[in-house]
Structures are given as structure tokens and as C-alpha cells.
Structure 1
Amino acid sequence: MNLFDLSLQFNGFPIRKAEHVLKAIQQKNEEDFKLYVAQKKQDIVAYHLKHTPFYKLLAKNTNHLDWNTVPVLTKRDLQQPLKNRLSEGFSKKNVYVNKTSGSSGDPFIFAKDKFSHALTWAVIKDRFGWFNLNFKNSKQARFYGIPLDKKGYYKERFKDTLSNRFRFSVFDLSDDAFKRCLNSFKSNSFDYINGYTSPIVQFAKYLKAQNVILKSISPSLKACVVTSEMLFEDDKALMEKQFGVPVINEYGASELDLIAFQNLEKLWQVNSETLFVEILDKENNPLPYGEEGKIVITSLYNKAHPFIRYDIGDIGVLSKQSTLKKPILEKLIGRTNDIAILPSGKKAAGLTFYYITKSIIEDDGNVKEFIIEQVKKNTFKIYYVSTEELSSEKTKIITQEMERYLEKGLNILFERQNQLQRSKSGKLKQFSSLIQKNI
């Protein structure tokens, strides 16, 4: 067992058991798989109706044998203290707890039981294995954010060590920062790149300007896996050309699981082993394969916290090629992010703001929604919906965090609203720039 697996086992996440369960699910034939999904759907609804007061109240008219009676769960339903939502027998001490990024503008804290979280990692390891990538021998070049507080920073660095990965900052996308990245690729035998789409696209643009093909200076490189933001075809083509390796598209949600992963046939294969994914219309009626609607997901194994018919906030289409065992996500709408250009000329990925705005996320559910707009190079405006107005102390903390992650001299404005402007799909774009720019 490698260091990463040992760390999961040591912290109570039974990865070996999860991998055995996943393998058994995958070995089922189509008919047995249909029975498996039907049974797991019934079981998870019945479990939470019996053991989770929060869900029992929310789904009081539900018959666990009739899926059509199961209500659709929204992020707004979950914006209350976590202790009110946990199932009987679970507390913060015996579950995996984390915060959503707030990328949809609806932040909240969530929990997963330890076996469910182990299954998440089993699925991730399985998908990366499709491309001969593993957490034991494959070294990762990681383009993600990192907390700047001492405890959070060193915790992430320790996890990086266990996972055989080297982290590059997405908070600085300057040429000088990318030059340092390039030097790291020259001196390290990276097997793959993994991280947020927009900063990796910016790195590819830098390589193009320098007339560099990454694989020519880093021959060990095999693939690039992007996540958390929309991947456009022209950006994908640019990355594949400049990196010299395939670009693999991942779609996931921290509160759920890995949702879809590009397979060897270059199709976006949905995780049907631990999730049940539906496409619904505005009235919550199921749509047939090939039609566009909202993506609604059921976590089949999470007993600590109900994510049953959970509206994730994205719009998508399941291909007509889909089957119950092998659904194919043909189209995903949303999760695009702008790049911020600061007065100094420094660029920062839109996902930088996901980390900064975590500072306004509280377990009491005060802040319901928020978006950030860059109105000038030195001016950012935060629009938010909340039960109570943010205190001057809280706005001061947010301003300090913005300057700490980005640069000094920024003007941060706050405006509380009753309702935020949403796109036609009903989704909030958490960060957008109103500045005309050429990047």
C-alpha cells in the first residue's frame, strides 16, 4: 500500500474496502446493474427518511419505493448549520467535512461518511488508471489554489507530499511565475498536469509565446487533466499542441464525487457506480437522452448527509449513446471563469476568488449567495444576499484577504441585495470582469 492509501486508512477512510466494492459494481452485467441502481436508490432514500430528521421533514410526502415522489434538493435547502443536517450517529468528529467552493454562488458546509469518501477516491484512482496514471508512481504537476494561513498551507503541502505532487500557484499567472514553472518541468520528471482549466490555459499561452513544446523539455509527461471550469475546444487544442500530450476533461463536485471523466474514446463518461445522474426540466420531470436540462445527482452511498436528487446548479445533456451503466455527458453549460488583470499587470485566475470568498462562508448560513465583479483594475465589487448585513469587521477581513492573495491598494466594495442577477440557465457566475482585455 502506498503512502496516499496508508494516509487514507490511518484517518479512517477504508480505501481497500472501497476499491473491492467498486470492482464488484463494475463487474455487474447490464441487467444486474439495473437492479443494483434501483435498489441503491431505494436504500439511500429509506435510510435518510429513517435516520435524518432534516431530510424526513423536507421529504415528508416521499415514498421510497416511488422515485417520482422524491423531492429535488437545492443548495438553498442546505444553507443551515451542518449539525442540523447530519444523520443520527454522525457528528463532525466521525465524518469528512469540507466547504463547497462557492463557484455557483451558493456556498455551504457539507459532510460525507468515511466509506463514502473512500469510494470517491477509489473512483478517482480508477479513472486515472485508464491513462496509466496512479498515486504511487506518477508525479503530478498540480495547478490548484492553496490556503495562505499557516495551518491550511502546511496541511495541503503535507497532502501533496503523500500524493506525490508538486503544487504551482494559480494566484500569480505572470510571465515570471510561468518561467519558474517551466524551470520546474525541466528539473522534475512530471507524469501529468492536473488542475483548474483557466491557469493551465494561460500556461499554454505562455509556452506558445516562448515557442516551447512542454514534452520536448519534460519527456516523462503523459497527460493533462483539467477540472472545475469549462474546457473549450480551442483551448483544448492549444494545450494539446503546446504540452504535446492528451488533455483529459474531468467534471466533479466536492460535495458529491467525481461526476464525469473523459474516457479512452474521448467521451465524457459519467460515474454511474456511486452516483445516479438525471437530467430534469424546469418542472423536475426527467428528460430523455439528448435533451438539455438541469443536472440532478443522487449520492448512492453517503449516509452521513443526504444528497438525494440534488440540483448541482449546472445545465447539461446526456448523449443518446448513453446507457444506465455507461451514461455519456455530451454537453455541460457553466463553470467558466474570467481572468482578473490587476493594476500592476499581474493576472490571477478567477478561481482565486473561490479561495478568498471562503472567508465569508459561515456555518450559520448567513450569506446565501454572492458574486464578485471587477469593475476597474483596482476595484472589485462583492454583491451578496444574506440574513444579516456583513459587519465592518467581516468586510475588513475580506479586503485584507483580497490584498493578501492578489496585491495591495485594491478597492473592495460591498453591496447587499435581496436577489442576485442570474443567467438564463439559473446559474450565478461567481466572478466576472467588466474590463475589456486581451489575454
Structure 2
Amino acid sequence: MLRQRFDPLVAPEDERHWRSQLIHEGLLFPRVYEEYERYSEFVGRPEALRSLQGERLGTVLRHAIGAVPAYRRMGITVDDGMDSWRLLSAFPFVSKLELAEGMVDHCDDDIDPATCRVLETSGTSGVPLRMVRHDDALVHEWATALVRNQRQGKAFDRTVLMPCLARMDRWFEYTSPGAGFARIAQFGLAGRGASDRAAFAERARGFRPDVLAGTPRNLVDFMELLCSHGGPLPWVQSIVTCGELLVPGVREALTEFFGLPVIDMYAMKEAGTIAVQCEAGSYHIESERLWLEVVDDDGVPLPEGHTGEIVITDLTNRAMPLIRYRTGDFGSLASAACGCGLPHKVMDLVEGRNPGELRRPDGSVLPVLWAARAARRHPVRRYQVVQEADFSVTVLVAPAPSFTAADSAELTRNLEDILGAGIRCRVRTIADGEFHHAGRRKDVDFVSFLTNASPRP
């Protein structure tokens, strides 16, 4: 009966997509393994990594000038002896909106659909984007992931559970060649009742996963499912979060429940994995594939240690070159190497995207990020900044166990200091299901009822 109810009943179009994707991964795996062996030799060799970056950056920039309409018509010239980073400074920044509206112009003239995959972003920034990634970009992303897994002691044939996906209402298992032939299971609880949830928890226990991976919200949901159905899974060796900002309260809760440290990844569909935490907690940039800059509001590059907007250049994607892409996320680059010994540059801070602006009655605005920073300093599992129709601001929080009335009072005072006179502030603790949503797959950190742009629950 259990098999009959939970076998992967995937819709025909989804099944065709997955079958195509996994066959594509399998065909590329010999190249993935070759790059994996090459990248394994970079440990402790920062000069080799820097040389590879310069070579790849120069190649992708020259390719864009000659083969991509959006850059060819800019008339960017390459002087003899010009190094890659000086050439990069001649390129303009590009926003998600510009890429979305000018997708064709940002693609290679001679793009070959047989050697590319099209990915679509979730649209949580308000601008869904279709991104064309060349096979080379996928090969290098998967290869660097295999090196990272090896460094963390994860076998190629590991089992990975991705639980509580909001878009799914079934159990789905597959083997991913791109992930080193890992056995992966995904499941969702959409529309499921109490008895179904118990059966999903039982099936997850029978899967005996080595790794739990997912958004912080999904892993918290899974933790709460296990609390009611048998407790932690003793076989799990690693907890990996990605896709949303990991707040301290969620990290604390997951670590305490599973008895394992949480490894957080900073990634986006446009460029794949960008930076991953090491055992020392530093976010190491995947420098074999990416070049990162940090800029201020005017696009002026900032020195190491200064917080600004993260700008990405993809060193391996020729089909739709991603050059000086303004991510909308905020962070800084560390000035010193990490003590773990990895040669990859470190992101000292990953702030996440600024979700919007708070408005004062006088017409002035403030970044929502300022209020979000204040909320993240406290033990909360989730937060949401809400601007009401009367300009007042409410911060909704799902508290971690250690959250107290003192935290609520301090957060209220901090918000008042940040927002200034004229805006009433309050903090309200709620359950996870009481947050406002906007019909998207990811959690929404900011809702404004000033413009009615965001719907009520």
C-alpha cells in the first residue's frame, strides 16, 4: 500500500524533463570527472587559481565582444597587453531586468541548443529570468561540487534527502550523474494530511540519508515533522542549506536537533553555486568559475572589508555570458585568507538581497535591509518586515526557543532608532503559517500594503 501511494507519480512533462536532464548529466560526466581531478590539485596553490581566473576571464570577455550583440555594439576595444581585469572594467554593469528584457541580445550569435540548458529563476526579486547556460558552465559547476564533497568526506554514492518541497505532493527518487551518481530523494507535503505526513516521515527514515539538503525553511519543516514522528535520523552526516538566507536562529535550531553543524551555500540559478562554507565557517567563492566584485550604489568598486552589492562575472558560460551582473545581494570580501588553507577568496559576509524600501510619510525611503539586519541579530527562525497602510512597520517573527520578551523589546527599540521619528514600530511573534505570502516558492521577507503590491495571506 505504501509503495502504491508514494511511488514517483510525476506528470508526463515533468518526467520527460527529468529524464532529459539526467541523460544530459550522464553524457557530460566523463568531462566532469576530468575537471574534478584537475581542480583537486588547486588546494594550497592560490597562484595557480589566480592564473586560471585571469585566463578564463580574458577568454569570456573577448568572446562576448565578438559574438554577443549586446556587447559587440558597445565598441569595446582590447589593447595589446591589456590584462583581463583591466578589460573587465570597460564592461558596463547589467541588471536582472536588462537581462530579462534583452535576453536574445545577451546570447551568443551562434548558440547551439544541443550544448545548452535553459534555466528559469524563481522570480522572488520580482523579475523572473530565463538564463541559458552552456554545457561547459555545468561541467565546471558539477566538478567543483565533487571536489567540495570530497573535501567534506562525502562519497560519490551518497544518499541525499531534499525534504518538504512546497511545490511537490509526492516522493520522487533518482540518481544524479552530475552529483557523482548520488542517490537523491525529494518529497513535498502539499495538501497532505496527518496520516500522510507520518508515512512520509517513515519513508524518509527508511531512505537512510547521508545528507539533508534544502532551504532553511524546508529543513525546519522537516525537523518539526521528525519531532512528531521518531526524532532525528541517526544516519545523517551533513546538513546543507541553500536558496534562502540562513538566519542564526534557524542554524541554532537545526544544529541542536540533528547534532551536526550546518553548511550553508550561497547560490543562484543564474550562476549556480557561488560560495560555500568551510569547516571554519568562511564562505569560500568558487573562484575556478566566478569572479566577484563588491560595489556601492553608484557602481564604484569597494575595497575588501566594505559591504556593498555583489557583482558576478561567470568565467565559463559562453552561451549567455554573465558579465558584471548586479545580483541585488549584499556582502563584502575578506581581506585575509581563511585559516582552513583553501586558496579561494572568502566572502566575509553574506547579507542576502535587499527586498525593497520602507517609505516615510515625508516621501523619503530606507532600505528594508536595515530592518532585516536588526531582526537577524535575534534568535528567530523566520522574520518578515511589513509596512502597513498607515506607514507603521511591524516585524513578524517566528521565535527560536531562546527568544524572550527582552529580545522583542530590544528589537523594537532598534527599529525605532533605524526608522526614526514618525514611523510607529512593533514586533509580533507568530506561527510559521501566519506569515504573508505572495504565491512564490521562496519565503517573502518584505510585504508593503502602501501600494497593495503584495497580497495578504
Same fold (TM > 0.5):
yes
1:87 aligns to 2:108 (yes or no):
yes
Distance between the aligned counterparts of 1:348 and 1:193, measured in 2?
A: 26
Q: Is the 8 A contact 1:143 1:169 kept in 2?
A: yes
Paired residues, what number? 352
1:170–1:199: 8 Å Cα contact kept in structure 2? no
Counterparts of 1:27-426 in structure 2, within 5 Å, are: 29-57=45-73, 59-61=74-76, 63=78, 65=82, 66=86, 67-80=88-101, 82-134=103-155, 136-143=156-163, 145=165, 158=174, 163-169=182-188, 171=190, 179-207=198-226, 210=228, 213-214=231-232, 218-322=233-337, 325-334=343-352, 347=433, 353-355=439-441, 383=453
CA deviations over 1:193-228 (Å, ceiling 9, x no partner): 0011112123334555x49640xxx32110110101
Q: Which secondary structure does the structure 1 equivalent of 2:89 belong to?
A: helix
Partner Cα distance (1:176, 1:235) in 2: 27
Unaligned runs of at least 5 residues, structure 2: 1-20, 356-381, 385-395, 397-430
Corresponding letter in the other structure for 2:160: Q
- Larger relative CO (CA 8 A, sep 6+): 1 or 2? 1
Assess if the C-alpha contact under 8 Å between 2:163 and 2:222 holds in 1.
no
Matched, 1:17 2:17: no
Letter in 2 for 1:94: T
Helix, strand or coil for the counterpart of 1:79? helix
d(CA) in 2 for partners of 1:350 and 1:62? Answer: 50
Q: CA separation of 1:176/1:346 partners in 2, compared to 1, >3 Å: closer, same or farther? A: farther
Instruction: Render the CA deviation track for 1:353-394: whole Å, top value 9, x for unaligned.
Output: 44599xxxxxxxxxxxx999698xxxxx984xxxxxxxxxxx
Distance in 2 (alpha carbons) for counterparts of 1:13 and 1:75: 33
SS class of match (1:93):
helix
Residue 330 of structure 1 and its aligned partner are, at CA, apart by: 2.2
Q: Say whether the 8 Å CA contact 2:49–2:288 is kept in structure 1.
A: no
Residues 139-167 of structure 1 show CA distances to partners (whole Å, capped at 9, x for unaligned) of 11113648669xxx99x755669641111
| Alpha-carbon RMSD | 4.0
Which residue number corresponds to residue 412 of structure 1?
none
Tell me, yes or no, if the aligned pair for 2:201 and 2:225 is still in contact at 8 Å: no
Q: 1:250 to 1:278 in 2, by over 3 A?
A: same
Instruction: Kindly provide the CA deviation profile for residues 60-113 of structure 1, in whole angstroms up to 9, marking residues without a partner as x.
Output: 346483232221121112113644432132133331111112122221111111
> Normalising by the residue count of structure 2, what TM-score does the alignment of the two structures yield?
0.66
Q: Would you say the 8 A contact 1:228–1:252 is kept in 2? A: yes
**Bigger-Rg structure (1/2):** 2
Distance 1:251 1:89 in 2: 31
Structure 1 Cα separation of the partners of residues 137 and 257 of structure 2: 38
Structure 1 pair 119/11, CA: closer, same or farther in 2 (3 Å)? closer
Q: Which amino acid aligns with 2:213?
A: N
Could you tell me how far apart the structure 2 residues matched to 1:234 and 1:61 are?
48
**Structure 1 residues 258 and 288, CA gap change in structure 2 (3 angstroms):** same
**1:332-368 deviations in whole A, cap 9, x for unaligned?**
222597699xxxx9949999944599xxxxxxxxxxx
Give the aligned residue type for 2:68: T
What secondary structure, in the 3-state scheme, does the structure 1 residue paired with 2:288 have?
coil
**How far apart are 1:32 and its partner, in Å?**
3.6
Q: Counterpart of 1:203 in structure 2: which amino acid? A: F
Indicate how the Cα distance of structure 1 residues 88 and 250 shifts in structure 2: closer, same or farther if over 3 A, else same: same
TM-score, with length taken from structure 1: 0.68
**220-229 vs 281-290, greater mean Cα deviation:** 281-290
Q: What stretches of structure 1 of length at least 5 have no aligned partner?
A: 358-369, 376-380, 384-431
Residues 436 and 455 in structure 2, CA contact (< 8 A), matched pair in contact too? no
Aligned mates of 2:37, 2:176 — CA distance in 1: 25
Deviations 1:19-55 (A, max 9, x none): 244335x258333433332232222111110111123
1:360 paired residue number: none
What's the secondary structure of 1:240's corresponding residue?
helix
3-state SS of paired residue (2:113): coil
Tell me the amino acid that sits aligned with residue 89 of structure 2: N
Could you tell which deviates more after superposition, 46-55 or 8-17?
8-17
Structure 1 contact 293–315 (Cα < 8 Å) conserved: yes
In structure 1, the partner of 2:358 is: none
Contact kept, 8 Å, 1:338 with 1:433, in 2: the verdict is: no
Q: Partner letter of residue 236 of structure 1?
A: R
Distance in 2 separating the partners of 1:159 and 1:350:
36
Q: 1:434 to 1:14 in 2, by over 3 A?
A: same
Q: 1:212-249, CA deviations, whole angstroms, 9 ceiling, x for partnerless residues?
A: 640xxx32110110101111112111111111222110
> 1:319 deviation in Å?
2.3
